[in-house]
Amino acid sequence: MVQHVEQNLQLMTKRAVKAENSATKLKQENALLQAQLKNYKTENEALRSGHSASLAIMKQNADIALQNLLTVITSSQSSIKQLVSGAESLQLVADLLKSIDKISEIPDDGH
């Protein structure tokens, strides 16, 4: 009977040692997973802030493009006004040249 109790104690001791080893391994695995989780959270926050920064840069670029577009529009309007004015001047010159042709066609009565 004593031998049976000793065997049971040995089995229980082996089980206890095995359970302690398993608990130690699980604690180590848990610590590793906690560290990974912390790293993933940090990475996630960095990605989120990077995304926000990207949106801010995109908005800034859109604003710059808008300002450039407005400048081009203003410049184009000025150029179009100058072009129309130049065309009107050319039309006036053309009309004057036509008048000169008419004047040169008037017969000379006295000479």
φ, ψ for residue 18 (rounded to 5)?
Answer: -60, -40
Residue of higher predicted confidence among 30 and 105: 30
Q: Which residue reads 């801010």 in tokens?
A: 56
Look at the pTM and tell me if it is higher than 0.75: no
The single-letter code of the amino acid at 108 is D
Question: pLDDT digits over 11-56, tens only?
Answer: 999 999 999 999 999 999 999 999 999 999 999 988 888 888 888 8
Summarised one tens digit per residue, pLDDT across range 71-98 is 999 999 989 999 999 999 999 999 888 8
Alpha-carbon distance 95 to 91, whole Å? 6
Cα separation, 59 vs 67, whole angstroms: 12
105 vs 70, more confident: 70
Residue 108 has a pLDDT of 62
